[in-house]
């Protein structure tokens, strides 16, 4: 049995409309349950690209809503000139602290790395404690935790005690399990394909 073309088209239309009705109902049900607002502890981890970029996207959204955001960079180079210039256009909304000067793969001085991580963490703590900030980004802090440059217990205690409405974003590979357990929102950026593997170098607008 075959349908006339217009009947077939009508059937496709009807199926689509039914599917969308179900989706809409499901979506409405989900959203009806979501009544709570709270400051989120957000973790972006994984080996893929986009951990810092996605945090940066959230910072931009927050800026757009007139919020004040503190950005602390634990590793030099993760955030660079590109975003710094955009932050500079919103001096009342963003305080950007590049603290990773002494902490790169080139240093082989553990004591110096620990001191740099401590200074960065002190900035994060100050911003978490200061009610003026709505959001704090601890960019690449997972790296400092991974190398035990910061005591995990201390970091977890500070995050657990953060003001209820403050958003804190922590990025970097190898997020500790205990941080993932404590977080509200965790995304693992999984590398599917990376242009470095095809010999393409880091480029403005993409990596920095």
Q: Which of residues 56-75 bind its own copies (CB under 8 A)?
A: 56-58, 60-65, 67
Who contacts 100 (Cβ-Cβ below 8 Å, separation ≥6)? 73, 74, 75, 76, 77, 78, 116, 120, 140
Q: Residue 80 burial (CB < 10 Å; 0-12/13-18/19+)?
A: middle
Q: Does 21 bind its own copies (CB under 8 A)?
A: yes
Using the rule CB under 8 A, is 2 a contact of its own copies?
A: no
Rounded Cα–Cα distance for residues 186 and 37 (Å)? 17
- 133 neighbors 63 (Cβ within 8 angstroms): no
Shortest Cβ distance from residue 127 to its own copies (Å)? 15
Contact 159, 93 (CB under 8 A): no
Q: By CB under 8 A, tell whether 107 contacts its own copies.
A: yes
Residue (of 91, 90, 89, 51) closest to 73 by Cα position: 51
**Nearest to its own copies of 1, 197 (CB atom):** 197
112 counts as binding its own copies under rule CB under 8 A: no
The verdict on 5 binding its own copies (CB under 8 A) reads: no
Report how far residue 27's alpha carbon sits from residue 35's, in angstroms, rounded to the nearest whole number: 14
Q: Is 44 in the site for its own copies (CB under 8 A)?
A: yes
Considering only residues 115, 129, 156, 186, which one is a binding residue for its own copies as defined by CB under 8 A? 186
Q: Applying CB under 8 A, does 11 fall inside the site for its own copies? A: no
CA within 13 Å, CB half, 131: 0
Instruction: Compute the distance between CA of residue 48 and CA of residue 41 in angstroms, rounded to an integer.
Output: 20
- The residue from 110, 112, 151, 178 that contacts its own copies (CB under 8 A) is 110
The gap from C-alpha 155 to its chain's centroid, in whole angstroms, comes to 17
Q: How far is the CB of 181 from its own copies (least distance, A)?
A: 9
Q: Of 1 and 35, which CB lies nearer to its own copies in the complex structure?
A: 35
- Is there binding between residue 188 and its own copies (CB under 8 A)? yes
Site for its own copies contains 54 (CB under 8 A) = yes
Q: Report if residue 85 touches its own copies, rule: CB under 8 A.
A: yes
Instruction: Select the span of 55-63, 118-126, 138-146, 153-161 touching its own copies (CB under 8 A).
Output: 55-63
- Residue 55 is a binding residue for its own copies (CB under 8 A): yes
């Amino acid at each position: 049995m075959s349908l006339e073309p217009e009947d077939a088209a009508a059937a496709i239309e009807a199926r689509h409309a039914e599917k969308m009705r179900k989706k809409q109902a499901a979506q409405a049900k989900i959203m009806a349950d979501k009544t709570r607002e709270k400051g989120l502890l957000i973790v972006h981890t994984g080996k893929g690209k986009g951990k810092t970029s996605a945090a940066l996207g959230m910072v931009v959204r927050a800026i757009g809503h007139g919020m004040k955001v503190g950005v602390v960079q634990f590793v030099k180079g993760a955030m660079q000139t590109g975003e710094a210039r955009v932050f500079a256009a919103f001096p009342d909304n963003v305080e950007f602290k590049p603290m990773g000067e002494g902490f790169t793969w080139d240093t082989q001085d553990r004591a110096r790395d620990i001191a740099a991580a401590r200074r960065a963490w002190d900035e994060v703590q100050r911003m978490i404690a200061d009610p003026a900030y709505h959001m704090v980004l601890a960019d690449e802090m997972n790296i400092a935790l991974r190398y035990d440059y910061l005591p995990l217990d201390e970091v977890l205690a500070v995050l657990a005690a953060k003001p209820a409405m403050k958003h804190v974003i922590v990025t970097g590979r190898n997020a500790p399990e205990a941080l993932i357990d404590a977080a509200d929102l965790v995304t693992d950026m999984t590398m599917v394909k990376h242009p470095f593997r095809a010999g393409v170098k880091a480029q403005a607008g993409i990596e920095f």
